[in-house]
């Protein structure tokens, strides 16, 4: 019926389960090429396989792997696996409780689809005015000429709009057609991926 690929860096999905509403959750691990370690990886899609959110979860900088997961009574997720400190290290059992947004800590939901291995830092990207009226300006603290892909999410993690622009150091994002509310703008270049929150 459909086939989808998810950009988790370099990894695999071994366990997938469908919820009563048709959404799908899958988990396993991803290779973090930036720091040469593995992370637990969990992804949620809608019934058509379109990405709702994905998370990379790591324990204390060790190689971290999910080996199974299940749904919890509060709408979240429980993940079981192990962490491994290296070729000459030790292996320990690992249990992770996630909320309904796949978060293991407060504030995680503000970063829908944000990979922890991104080398783009929050302070390097500025967005104004916020709250927005008709448009917002997104600027980078460094000069980078190339293509930038963006996804606009609502607070439920559903994609509202998507697009691609060529930019150098900044670009203007049109918000005039958006309904009042809170939005998450995910930006991705060759340098990494980051998500910024704004209010309309």
Q: Distance between CA 151 and CA 159 in Å, rounded?
A: 7
Instruction: Kindly indicate the confidence band of residue 87, based on its pLDDT and cuts at 50, 70 and 90.
Output: low
Answer for the pair 67, 91: CB distance below 8 angstroms, yes or no.
no
Q: Compare 64 and 124 and report the one with higher pLDDT.
A: 64
**What are the Cα distances from residue 141, in Å, to 18, 108, 120, 138, 164?**
42, 24, 10, 10, 20
Mean pLDDT over 161-186 rounds to 83
Nearest to 40 by CA among 77, 2, 89, 87: 77
What is the dihedral sign for C-alpha 118, 27, 155, 159?
Answer: positive
For residue 168, what are its two tokens? Answer: 């150098």
Rg, the chain, Cα only: 18
Q: Model-level pTM?
A: 0.53
Instruction: Kindly indicate the confidence band of residue 75, based on its pLDDT and cuts at 50, 70 and 90.
Output: confident
Instruction: Kindly indicate the confidence band of residue 86, based on its pLDDT and cuts at 50, 70 and 90.
Output: low
Answer for the pair 17, 28: CB distance below 8 angstroms, yes or no.
no
pLDDT at 116 over 50: no
Mean pLDDT, the chain, whole residue set? 78
For residue 195, what are its two tokens? Answer: 């998500």
Looking at the chain, the whole-number percentage of residues with pLDDT higher than 90 is 15
Q: Distance between CA 113 and CA 42 in Å, rounded?
A: 10
Classify burial at 77, counting beta carbons within 10 Å of its beta carbon; exposed 0-12, middle 13-18, buried 19 or more: buried
Residue 34 is predicted with a pLDDT of 47
Maximum CA pair distance of the chain? 56
Residue 110 is predicted with a pLDDT of 43
Collect contacts of 195-198 with beta carbons under 8 A, ≥24 apart: 195/110, 195/111, 195/112, 195/113, 195/114, 195/153, 196/122, 196/125, 196/127, 196/138, 197/110, 198/127, 198/130, 198/131, 198/132, 198/136
Residue 71 bridge partners (DSSP): 77
Residue 80 is predicted with a pLDDT of 95
Residue 89 is predicted with a pLDDT of 74
Mean pLDDT over 46-75 rounds to 86
Mean pLDDT over 6-15 rounds to 73
pLDDT at 108 over 80: no
Does 2.60.40.3080 match the CATH number of domain 122-199? yes
Q: What does the pLDDT look like over 30-60, one tens digit per residue?
A: 775 545 678 888 999 888 888 888 888 888 8
Report domain extents, the chain: 11-110, 122-199
């Amino acid at each position: 019926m459909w086939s989808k690929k998810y950009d988790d860096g370099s990894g695999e999905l071994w366990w997938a389960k469908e919820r009563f509403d048709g959404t799908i959750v899958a988990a396993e691990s991803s290779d973090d090429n930036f720091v040469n370690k593995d992370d637990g990886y969990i992804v949620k899609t809608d019934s058509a396989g379109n990405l709702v959110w994905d998370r990379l979860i790591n324990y204390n900088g060790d190689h971290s792997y999910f080996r199974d997961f299940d749904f919890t009574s509060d709408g979240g997720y429980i993940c079981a696996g192990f962490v491994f400190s290296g070729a000459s290290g030790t292996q320990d059992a690992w249990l992770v409780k996630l909320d309904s947004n796949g978060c293991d800590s407060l504030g995680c939901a503000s970063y829908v689809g944000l990979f922890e291995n991104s080398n783009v830092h929050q302070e390097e990207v500025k967005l104004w005015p916020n709250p927005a009226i008709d448009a917002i300006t997104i600027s980078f603290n460094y000069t980078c000429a190339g293509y930038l892909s963006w996804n606009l999410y609502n607070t439920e993690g559903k994609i509202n709009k998507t697009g691609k622009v060529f930019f150098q150091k900044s670009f203007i994002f049109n918000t005039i057609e958006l309904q009042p509310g809170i939005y998450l703008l995910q930006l991705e270049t060759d340098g990494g991926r980051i998500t910024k929150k704004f209010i309309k």
